[in-house]
């Protein structure tokens, strides 16, 4: 139920590489115990570095098991102590300790949650039941947004891609219960099995909410048919990656041209949308044209069933154990292959991170991230920026005119590390011990209001789009900035006491990756001020696209599961960032290590340690269900190919291990 700005894609938001290892193992960037030295490094570098790790079983609560979860588990142990201490000791009303403690207490009180059942949802379920005509549907969806829920489509506030000094509101496609549109249309047997399981899941959820078995099955079939119609007009993932095509500005008066059947003003009135805001974005106009058509063609009772389902779907994880378990059985077990639920404290902790993340963050960074670590991380970023400047300088395919603009983008790129300089103020949010789902919905409504308040105000460039405890990072093109939370700047990815080869190698998929996102097929379309506008000459664009097409073909050839290939264009931006990021990180390390002794360690040269640390940072055992989900619905390649794909493009890799380079390497982009 977390509120997100409509269709905002953080280009650097690397999918968290869920993983783990026994807590008793030392945390190191290069670990021989995980390697399989019988495999030549140039044949399969992933197995060379991680082959022995593949024998480690995946615990029941995980879809993936590898290095990332080691970091997650250590971060979560700190957060658990913070939450339990706050719940036990409390604090003055409106304080950080009060909000954190009361949120956690409410989430852990299973008896109260089970006793309440779906009663906390009664205001919204009653409103759905009370709909009189299709004209009331869109205003009701507006009420949902105002009160912390959503349905039908996405709506939010973001930086205007073509005027990054201003905020703008807009609409985007949404309203589906399956991961993305193609799940409704793929013809293979596995996809059909998932659709049937989804329909059965809907029926069981409705039955748990009070419907008879027969009625629930009939309603589930109606919802499945309804969502399939909705999905038909939605754009595919690869099409959503084109920022120009998804930037469509309309005056409020012109919204009726998209669909006269949609009560646009009735929607906006539900949360007192400012009259001064006279233009909005509609990311995918054809979706809303079809949506308006369905307002007229679909019976009111079908809309009521659909809306009721989506309220239940969003809330199930925060309700009694029966609905919570049912939600888990489909979305985690069926789609990702996870065998068992995480312990309740972890689920409540993650919900708190969504709801009041910077409250938690204030307490987390006091324990987990020193000023010295922040200083070293920012120093590493500077070496990466210098290395990227050098990559642009030696580029043979880019003209000097475009290079000058690229230097300008590098020189104005901002970097954030660790935690914000100014913490978010949650004082207007009321959190109590009375209702877990009530707290979650209240926090979502608070975030929606916080976003709306940005309209008409200067863009806040100090704001963070991730919490400090997040094990992830991002590049945001409209701000031309990179952000590296304290949660990812942890061993083995980053250790302020480790050698440069290990640190730069392990963070190649973070700092180098995020930086390169500013120059991938999407990020390159944004200038140094973050505006979506052309700044390359046509010849440079053509040469870039030719090289990018070779990257897409390289990844198209990879087949993670029998008959299932990576979609090279769907994953293109991430693949460019993976390849370019590794090369930039290698050069950044060379700059940082210049003049320093470079001895062998544990039998490996510094160059070898760099590449091994990079590959071991991706070590992950993955369930086939999760792998399938990643192939079909993720813009990132699966983890094995995030190692193999980049290294085969780098001459430095072959040189480091003394193996013969292929006769031809793909032309470099960065």
136-318: CATH superfamily: Neutral endopeptidase , domain2 (1.10.1380.10)
d(CA 71, CA 620): 13
Indicate whether 357 pLDDT > 80: yes
Q: Which residue has the tokens 């205001």?
A: 123
d(CA 613, CA 495): 12
Indicate whether 8 pLDDT > 70: no
What separation in angstroms does the CA of 294 have from each of 119, 230, 231, 260, 478?
Answer: 30, 8, 12, 12, 34
Residue 29 confidence class, pLDDT cut points 50, 70, 90? confident
d(CA 66, CA 315): 30
How many Cβ atoms from other residues are within 10 Å of residue 223's Cβ? 23
Same CATH topology for 32-80+370-424+460-657 and 136-318: the answer is: no
Q: What is residue 23's predicted lDDT score, i.e. its pLDDT?
A: 43
Residue 372 confidence class, pLDDT cut points 50, 70, 90? confident
Q: What is residue 665's predicted lDDT score, i.e. its pLDDT?
A: 85
Of the candidates 661, 663, 640, 637, the one whose C-alpha atom is nearest the C-alpha of residue 650 is 661
- Domain ranges in the chain are 32-80+370-424+460-657, 136-318
Residue 9 confidence class, pLDDT cut points 50, 70, 90? very low
What residues contact residue 409 under an 8 Å CB cut-off, 6+ apart?
480, 518, 519, 527, 528
Give the model confidence (pLDDT) of 467-510 as tens digits. 999 999 999 999 999 999 999 999 899 987 788 999 999 998 89
Average pLDDT over residues 451-464: 97
Phi and psi at residue 190, in whole multiples of 5°? -65, -40
Average pLDDT over residues 71-93: 95
> Which structure tokens are listed for 291?
């949506």
Give the model confidence (pLDDT) of 382-395 as tens digits. 999 999 999 999 99
32-80+370-424+460-657: CATH topology: Collagenase (Catalytic Domain) (3.40.390)
**Considering the entire predicted model, what is its pTM?**
0.92
Share above pLDDT 70 across residues of the chain, in percent, rounded to a whole number:
96
Indicate whether 62 pLDDT > 60: yes
What separation in angstroms does the CA of 435 have from each of 17, 77, 315, 378?
Answer: 32, 25, 12, 42
Indicate whether 341 pLDDT > 60: yes
Collapse the DSSP code of 440 into the 3-class scheme (helix H, G, I; strand E, B; otherwise coil) and give the result. helix
Q: What is residue 25's predicted lDDT score, i.e. its pLDDT?
A: 57
Determine if the peptide bond prior to 492 is cis (ω within 30°): yes
Of the candidates 62, 106, 61, the one whose C-alpha atom is nearest the C-alpha of residue 83 is 106
Collapse the DSSP code of 297 into the 3-class scheme (helix H, G, I; strand E, B; otherwise coil) and give the result. helix
Q: What is the mean pLDDT of the chain?
A: 94
Average pLDDT over residues 500-523: 93
242-268 burial, b for 16+ CB within 10 Å, e for fewer?
ebeebeeebeeeebeebbebbbbebbb
Q: What is the dihedral of CA 142, 148, 149, 153, to 10 degrees?
A: 50
In Å, how far from its chain's centre is CA 165?
25
Average pLDDT over residues 210-235: 98
Q: What is residue 13's predicted lDDT score, i.e. its pLDDT?
A: 52
């Amino acid at each position: 139920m977390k509120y997100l700005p409509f269709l905002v894609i953080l280009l650097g938001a690397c999918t968290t590489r869920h993983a783990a290892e026994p807590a008793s193992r030392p945390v190191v960037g290069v670990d021989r115990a995980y390697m399989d030295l019988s495999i030549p490094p140039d044949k399969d570098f992933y197995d060379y570095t991680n082959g022995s790790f593949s024998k480690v079983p995946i615990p029941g609560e995980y879809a993936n098991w590898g290095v990332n979860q080691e970091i997650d588990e250590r971060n979560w142990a700190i957060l658990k102590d913070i939450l339990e201490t706050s719940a036990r000791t409390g604090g003055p009303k409106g304080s950080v300790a009060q909000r954190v403690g009361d949120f956690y207490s409410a989430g852990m009180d299973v008896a109260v949650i089970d006793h309440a059942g779906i009663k906390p949802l009664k205001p919204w379920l009653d409103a759905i039941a009370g709909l009189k005509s299709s004209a009331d549907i869109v205003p009701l969806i507006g009420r949902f947004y105002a009160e912390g829920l959503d349905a039908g489509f996405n709506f939010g506030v973001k930086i205007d891609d073509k005027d990054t000094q201003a905020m703008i509101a807009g609409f985007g496609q949404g309203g589906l219960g399956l991961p993305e549109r193609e799940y409704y249309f793929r013809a293979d047997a596995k996809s059909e099995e998932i659709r049937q399981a989804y329909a059965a899941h809907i029926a069981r959820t409705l039955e748990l909410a009070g419907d008879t078995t027969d009625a629930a099955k009939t309603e589930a079939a109606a919802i499945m048919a309804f969502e399939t119609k909705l999905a038909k007009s939605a754009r595919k993932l690869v099409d959503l990656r084109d920022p120009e095509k998804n930037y469509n500005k309309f005056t409020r008066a012109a919204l009726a041209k998209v669909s006269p059947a949609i009560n646009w003003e009735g929607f906006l009135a539900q949360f007192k949308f400012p009259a001064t805001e006279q233009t909005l974005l509609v990311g995918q106009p054809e979706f809303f044209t079809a949506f308006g058509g369905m307002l007229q063609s679909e019976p009111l009772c079908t809309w009521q069933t659909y809306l009721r389902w989506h309220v239940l779907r969003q809330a199930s994880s925060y309700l009694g154990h029966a609905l919570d378990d049912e939600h888990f059985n489909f979305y985690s077990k069926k789609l990702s292959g996870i065998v068992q639920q995480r312990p309740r404290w972890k689920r409540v902790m993650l919900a708190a991170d969504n709801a009041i993340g910077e409250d938690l963050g204030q307490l987390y960074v006091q324990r987990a991230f020193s000023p010295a670590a922040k200083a070293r991380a920012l120093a590493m970023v500077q070496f990466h920026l210098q290395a990227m400047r050098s990559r642009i300088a030696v580029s043979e395919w880019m003209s000097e005119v475009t290079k000058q603009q690229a230097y300008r983008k590098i020189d104005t790129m901002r970097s954030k590390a660790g935690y914000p300089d100014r913490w978010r103020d949650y004082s207007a949010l009321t959190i109590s011990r009375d209702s877990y789902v009530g707290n979650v919905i209240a926090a979502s409504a608070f975030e929606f209001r916080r976003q709306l308040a940005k309209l008409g105000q200067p863009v806040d460039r100090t704001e963070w789009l991730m919490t400090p405890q997040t094990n992830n990072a991002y590049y945001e093109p409209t701000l031309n900035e990179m952000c590296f939370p304290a949660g990812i700047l942890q061993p083995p990815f980053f250790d302020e006491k480790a050698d440069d080869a290990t640190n730069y190698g392990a963070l190649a998929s973070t700092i180098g990756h995020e930086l390169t996102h500013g120059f991938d097929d999407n990020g390159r379309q944004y200038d140094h001020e973050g505006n979506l506008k052309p700044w390359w000459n046509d010849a440079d664009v053509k040469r870039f696209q030719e090289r990018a097409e070779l990257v897409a073909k390289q990844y198209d050839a990879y087949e993670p599961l029998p008959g299932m290939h990576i979609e090279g264009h769907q994953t293109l931006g991430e693949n460019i960032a993976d390849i370019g990021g590794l090369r930039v990180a290698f050069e950044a390390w060379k700059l940082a290590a210049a003049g320093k002794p470079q001895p062998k360690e544990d039998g490996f040269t510094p160059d070898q340690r760099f590449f091994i640390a990079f590959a071991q940072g991706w070590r992950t055992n993955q369930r086939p269900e999760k792998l399938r989900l990643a192939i079909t619905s993720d813009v990132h390649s699966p983890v094995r190919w995030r190692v193999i794909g980049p290294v085969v493009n780098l001459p430095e890799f072959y040189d480091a291990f003394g193996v013969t380079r292929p006769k031809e390497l793909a032309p470099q982009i960065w």
